Structure 1
Amino acid sequence: MVGDIRGHCIDRKEKQSPGGLSHLSVIDIGSSDASSYCARLFGGFGVDVQKIEPRLGDRMRPTAPVTLKDQSAWFVFRKFNRSITILDPAEAGAITRLTALIEDCDFLIDGRDVDFANCPFIDAGRPPLDGGRVVDFSMGWAGPSCTRIPADLGADVIKIEAIQNPDLGRGVDRRPAVIEDKMYEGAPCFCNMNLDKSGIRPDLTRPRGLALVERLLAKADIVVDDYPVDFLPKLGPRCDVLRALNPRSAKLSMSAFGADSIYRDCRTYGSTLERSSGLSGVVGKSDMSPVMSHVAFGDAIGSLNGCAAVLIALVCARYAGQGQLIDLAQIECMRPIAAPWFTIHSIDPMSPKRYGNRNPQLVPHGCFRCAGEDNWLIVAATDNEMWQRLAIFIGRRDWAVDASLNAGEARRCVEDNIENAIEASTRTRNADQVMFELQSVSVASGVARHPIDLLQEPPKVARISAASRAPCHRRASTAIDAERRRVGLYTIRAAAPTLGQHNSEILMGFSSSLIAMLQSRRERHRRNDNALREKLRKSVSSG
């Protein structure tokens, strides 16, 4: 699962049972990787998940990698913590039975390939998290990306950047020209990850700064940080303080290895997490050393898992009335990607087979050169009918009618020949044109695009504006942002905050008496801590 969700954050002995959401039910219908993993997350939080499967079986059952007994490690991993109901669509009453199951559940996860174009949009009149507050201590990519999702959903997200250590997403260039021109305010990564947030810059080394932040924490529904385990408590906002200020708040700690790991004090980035997760050992070709993607997957995947966990904690707070400490180890968020290979390797001591651009189940599946410099097209055949259409497209009708090539494993024997034939048909042609032609005959394909390509607005590619003006700084925009503006759905409310932009607006309204009370409480906690340390010192000395 995505870390360890615990009870009240001060007392680690008050653990919740795994069935924290056992009062909810999910129906999982269809078969896709995304919907299966989504249902698995629900099951991990105790939700009653019921998988609807046809009599012939889920298409994922034979998915590679497989064990020595031809059991799919992927299928086993994705289907933990759920029951399976067999429904044959051809049987009388099947639709009535399925309808009854869906009407009786809380959530329907639909992985079928169906057109939802005619489904009505449900407008509640305001964003789902409108009125909620998030205090965001994080920096970089993982934490800010996690808290941007609640911001997108309407929450009031207040970003805390200490005077001494602003968000490293602003860049680490400290040359005078960069500082004088405030170039750090326009860092694209920072601007993208921190849309719709407010920003303050307290001095967390001073009692007044800590007292002001504690005032914010008292009304926070969610508190997030992505620092090493003991970093933030050293500055002051400890779990016991959070619990006293707001017993219902959800505290998400997104360290690299988690509080209970022997590596808890290690510092990492997304790229080093990828290495530590084992993923680099199962990607790339078999004759290559371990390969890193050079995209910090650890950050992106950790942020999505963290957001899912903290939103679940909000649901728990609503039903149980108590807060949560979510000790999320980002390394654990990465491991599910390589989990099937862990399973296989635990059974068979041989190193897992590595496929490069190929796929353990689909043949062909690869990346093929097109006309121009460094232009590539990804092509895959997901079933026999698609393979036949692809064979005809590349001028090999004889392959399309050859019954001996109907199975993917049979095509594996001539995979080199198939790949050479595909590349012969793409090498001298425009990648976009070939993609459109393949898609027109229902063959899975997509251009491997460079980021700069997305600014040129080619046909059928979502429009992206390179940059738009916002107060004090420029910010990059994304395809999702452009689409949200187009349909008017939860549109962007504000650009990313400049450093300390909302200090006056957020902090200066606190009364001096309130600040004095918070400072007094902090001094009391400090004296108690000193007394406890002295007691422990004497105990050790006498022993």
Structure 2
Amino acid sequence: MRWQLTDNRPLDGIRVLDLTQVYAGPTCTRILSDLRADVIKLEGLKRMDITRNFVMPENTGKDDYWNRSGYFLLRNGGKKSITLDFSDPEAVELVKRLVPYADIVAESFTPRVMAKFGLDYESLKAIKPDVIMISLSGYGQTGPWRDFTAYGMGLEPASGISSVTGYRGGPPLRTGISFTDPYSGVVGAGAVLAALHYRRRTGKGQYIDLSEHESAIPVAGYAIMEYALTGRMPERIGNRSEWYAPQSVYRCRGEDNWIAITVRNDAEWEAFCHAAGHAEWENGHFGDVLGRFKYHDELDELISSWTREQDHIEAMHLLQKAGVIAAAVLNPKQVLMDPHLRERGAFDMIDQPDVGVRPVARQLGAKFSAFEPDSARPAPKLGEHNREVLQGMLGLSDEELVRLEEQKVIGDTPEGAVPLDVMRMFVQWPTTTFQQMGTIAGLDADYREQLGIDGNGNEKAK
């Protein structure tokens, strides 16, 4: 199907004042940016977004390293950046002067912070009555846990997800990616879009209190409902299923290669046995689902004896062709190189200044027939748009900007408690040591050639 795309995106003309940091909030506002909202990210020289310190190209902290972070690029592509130091009352007043130009204000501080600076919803509503404000906090704006400091590492267990993640008889496990953070960002973007639709119908803005803790609870909903309806406490079962057998993740040929296999019924079990070349497994005590559940350990050993001789991607195609649910476990490199994802355009090739072209995963997995998300844009340098916003929108003079720079209220260089020379060492990970420790699985010196980009950041292939 050839789609007729338009230059009009859903959020053309919408402006977002983005006070969020790290993961959840920037994911929310990055999605809004991809839908063409004008997102102005606000950071402080003494409190810039800490993700500017993570994942440096070529693992070097030289020059203005804070403008080259891969982590920051992922969550902040397409935004503008201004710097205002909240410890200065004049900076807070400038934020308030920006509010009339904003449709949405997003923040991710603990509940006490915005009120402390007079930037809570009631204060902003007095400035612009139809403003939409979203607060993405760990545990919400009310309740006994409201002031708890929270990161995804703790929110995931607190939501109940970790209680059902892990192996039988073992401890609860995290997913490994602070799952609640990006998930809350997606939920937050949806909430903002709903509020915009409501304002379009009624003319009224509103306040959105998003608890990242509560946002994640529905993900463990089946386990919660099991107790609510039956009084049963679900147990951890690792990679197995309560409904299907066999179901697990099996080691394949090569180093750390795996495949997930699910067999739902007798017909699929027969198809698996024939595809694997072991028709003798089809009958006997594996001949029905009850037997396969009862002898799952023995069955896993048999299946593993076959998968250990198989390439995980080739085995996936073989089983899928036979009608069996199978998925190769892809590591980050394999995800970036996957031909299916490349054909579908899952990655934008973004030319980040002083970095070059790099593939960056799109935040929106949906394909729209009427428009293309505006996602292939670089992340802003720290304070890159100070003049454009503060002078162009608020009318500050050149002299005022110079004074604010001299007072370190605005600028383009961090003024953190840790000296920059020390931070340069911190952001350069000891990758060789990490590899020896097993903290990282591998290190490819020719990764740019493998990805199809050369050392000058020019795209050679997709």
Q: Same fold (TM over 0.5)?
A: yes
Distance 2:123 2:314 in 1: 60
Q: 1:332 maps to what in 2?
A: 214
- Aligned position for 2:328: 447
1:239 aligns with 121
Question: How has the CA–CA distance of structure 1 residues 270 and 287 changed in structure 2, closer, same or farther, with 3 Å as cutoff?
Answer: same
Which residue pairs with 1:500 in the alignment? 383
| Cα deviation, residue 402, structure 1 | 7.1
1-side partners of 2:198 and 2:247: how far apart?
43
In the alignment, the residues of structure 2 paired with residue 345 and residue 314 of structure 1 have an alpha-carbon distance, to the nearest angstrom, of 37
Cα 1:307–1:458 shift into 2, 3 Å:
closer
Residue 251 of structure 1: which of 133, 137, 142 is its match?
133
1:314 aligns with 2:192: no
Structure 2: gaps spanning 5 or more residues: 401-462
TM-score (norm. length: structure 1): 0.66
Q: Give me the whole-angstrom Cα distance separating, in 2, the residues matched to 1:387 and 1:223.
A: 54
Equivalent in 488, 511, 515 of residue 395 of structure 2:
511
Counterparts of residues 64-213 of structure 1 (less than 5 Å): 118=1, 121=3, 123-171=5-53, 181-213=63-95
Tell me, yes or no, if the aligned pair for 2:351 and 2:358 is still in contact at 8 Å: no
Q: 1:247 to 1:466 in 2, by over 3 A?
A: closer
Aligned CA distance change for structure 1 residues 410 and 222 (closer, same or farther; 3 Å): farther
**What's the TM-score, normalizing by structure 2?**
0.77
Name the % identity: 30
1:151 Cα deviation (Å)?
0.7
Secondary structure at 2:16's aligned position in 1?
Answer: strand
CA distance in 2, matches of 1:199, 1:401: 65
- Structure with higher Rg: it is 1
Cα distance change of structure 1 residues 309 and 491 upon mapping to structure 2, 3 Å threshold: closer
Aligned amino acid, residue 511 of structure 1: G
Change over 3 Å in CA distance of 1:466–1:421 after alignment to 2: farther
1:405 Cα deviation from its structure 2 partner = 3.7
Distance 1:214 1:178 in 2: 38
- Structure 2: how far apart are the matches of 1:484 and 1:330? 23
Q: 1:266 to 1:476 in 2, by over 3 A?
A: farther
CA distance in 1, matches of 2:359, 2:26: 16
Match of 1:386 in 2: 268
Do the aligned partners of residues 126 and 332 (structure 1) sit closer, same or farther apart at CA in structure 2, a change above 3 Å counting? same
2:154 counterpart of 1:286: no
| 1:331-410 mapped onto 2 (5 Å cutoff) | 331-346=213-228, 351-400=233-282, 405-406=287-288, 408-410=289-291
Contact 1:389–1:443, Cα closer than 8 Å, also in 2: yes
Gaps of 5+ in 1: 1-117, 517-543
Assess if the C-alpha contact under 8 Å between 1:191 and 1:475 holds in 2. no
| Residues 462/123 of structure 1: CA separation in 2 closer, same or farther (3 Å cut) | closer
CA distance in 1, matches of 2:348, 2:193: 32
Counterpart residue identity of residue 442, structure 1: G
1:173-212 superposed Cα distances (whole Å, 9 cap, x missing partner): 9xxx987611122111110110111111122233332232
Q: Is the 8 A contact 2:131 2:206 kept in 1?
A: yes
Given the superposition, is the C-alpha separation of residues 178 and 166 from structure 1 closer, same or farther in structure 2, using an over 3 Å criterion?
A: farther
Deviations 1:308-363 (A, max 9, x none): 11111111111121111111111001111222222323455553222100111122
Residue in 2 that maps onto 1:462: 342
Aligned to 1:43: none
